[in-house]
Structure formats: structure tokens, C-alpha cells
Amino acid sequence: MEGVKPYLSVIVPAYNEADRLPLTLVDIDRHLSTKTYTYEIIAVDDGSSDGTQEVAKKFMKLIPNLRVIGYKDNQGKGNAVKMGMLEAKGKYRLFTDADNSTSIDHFDKMIPVLKEGYDIVICSRDVKGSQMHPPQSLLKRMLGNMGNLFIQVVLLPGIRDTQCGFKVFSEEAALRIFALQRIRRWGFDIEALALGKRMGYKIKEIPAYWVNDADSRVKPLAYFQVLFETVKVRWWLWRKAYNLGSN
């Protein structure tokens, strides 16, 4: 792998995921090892206190294409994804959740879309053909639907699910977008998509088969944090606080 530019980089942000992360890493490698393209897996420890990074490093002998990086203090999923995206070497750079709620085989469906010229392809739980198993609770569905309507009105019209944790970016889009990313926690997806759209990159949603994890770390308060961060991104764009350059 050394010296070979991978076709795909898979970034897995993790915070206190010592129990779930190993199985996810093994599953990702098991699937990608059957493909003809080259790949790397980057686990990014977001300042865990349960030994996540040490546990992940034990799998580097089993998974030759695995890298494990991180930092001491918890800073948020957005910060971990940013670090992984900028450390990655792949032509395409995908981030996915440590709980494996959206399996890596979804990338197979993304490849034809990338070949059509799209720069950013995201899995969505709200487009035709998507499935959630088991269904989310009524409260989460209501919060999610209201939140997405707000996000579409304020910042990202036409994108129905900004928060599903499975998104792929072309190398160029990843480097430009994540170099400018400011949001460190839950609203980072929205910021990345808004920056991508403003830079002129083509974005496409595809249906996801999403496994609703009962041990989800996303609390109801996070929904309101996302909305607040949406407003912040809208404000920053209006104030031209980002150095977007030219596309």
C-alpha cells in the first residue's frame, strides 16, 4: 500500500467506541478486500476515555490498510472527520459511523454516481427507496423532519437528509471544504454541504438502508445544536467569512 495512491479512503470517527469500532473496521475491510480498487481505512479517535485508540491499533496487524490517528481531548465528531479527510490520500474520501449503521457496501452504489460527474454523494434516509430498520421513534422522526425543513429553508434547499453519517467527497472537494470547516460537532455535515454547494460542486443523494442503533449517542439536545449551527453557517456565508476562492 505504501507509495500507492488509494482509490478510496474510509474515515471512521470514534468517541468511546472501544466495543463497537473493531467490528466495524473488520466489516469494512472484509467488504473492500474483495474489490479491485485500492483503499485505506482511517480510524480517528476523538479524545476517547475508554481506550478506543489503543483497541483500534491492535487491529492494524489484522487490517494492513488501517491507520489509527487521534488526539487527547474530545473535540467533536466534526473535528475528527476534518482531521481524517485532510490526512487521507484517496481519490475519493468517505466518512462513516463507528456503529456501522450504514454499511460500507453503499459505496458500490455511489461509484456510478461519481462517474457521472458528481463531486459529493450522500446517503439519505428520506429519499425514495431508503429504509430504516427498526424505524425511529416518533419523537426522533418529528425532530428530524422539522429540523430538515428548517435546514432546507435556511441553507440547503433540495437536500432532504443532511445528517446521515455516510458521505463521500472527491479529493478536490474534500481538501477545499474541510480546510475551511469551522463546526466541530453535530452541525459539521451541514457546513460541509453548504460550502460544497457554494463552491459549485455537484451533490447527489442516494437511498440508504440505515440500521437504527438503540445505543445511539445523539441526544435530543443535539437537534437544537444543529439548528443553531445552521444559522451560524448561514451568517458566516452572508458575511463572507470563508475564503472560498474560485471553482
Is omega for the bond preceding 22 within 30 degrees of 0, making it cis?
no
Percent over 70 (pLDDT), the chain: 93
Name the grid cell of 95.
466518512
Spacing of C-alpha 53 from chain mean position: 19
Structural domains of the chain sorted by starting position, each given as residue range(s) with its CATH number in brackets = 8-238 (3.90.550.10)
Is the per-residue pLDDT at 213 higher than 90? Answer: no
Four-CA torsion 101, 105, 106, 111, nearest 10 degrees? 150
Binned at pLDDT 50, 70 and 90, residue 143 comes out as confident
- Please choose, from the candidates 120, 170, 126, the residue with its C-alpha nearest in 3D space to the C-alpha of residue 152: 126
Residue 2: its pLDDT value, please? 62
Residue 1: its pLDDT value, please? 53
Residue 146: its pLDDT value, please? 84
Per the model's pLDDT, the better-predicted residue between 178 and 224 turns out to be 178
Name the grid cell of 53.
485508540
Is the per-residue pLDDT at 138 higher than 90? Answer: no
Burial of 228 (C-beta count, 10 Å sphere; 0-12/13-18/19+): exposed
Residue 189 and residue 81: Cα distance in Å, rounded?
A: 10
Q: What is the CA radius of gyration of the chain?
A: 17
> Averaged over 65-71, what is the pLDDT?
97
Percent over 90 (pLDDT), the chain: 81
Is the per-residue pLDDT at 9 higher than 90? Answer: yes
- Please choose, from the candidates 1, 78, 73, the residue with its C-alpha nearest in 3D space to the C-alpha of residue 33: 1
Residue by residue, DSSP assigns 83-109 as HHHHH---SEEEEE-TT-SS-TTHHHH
Terminus-to-terminus CA distance in the chain, angstroms?
32
The single-letter code of the amino acid at 30 is: R
Is the per-residue pLDDT at 67 higher than 80? Answer: yes
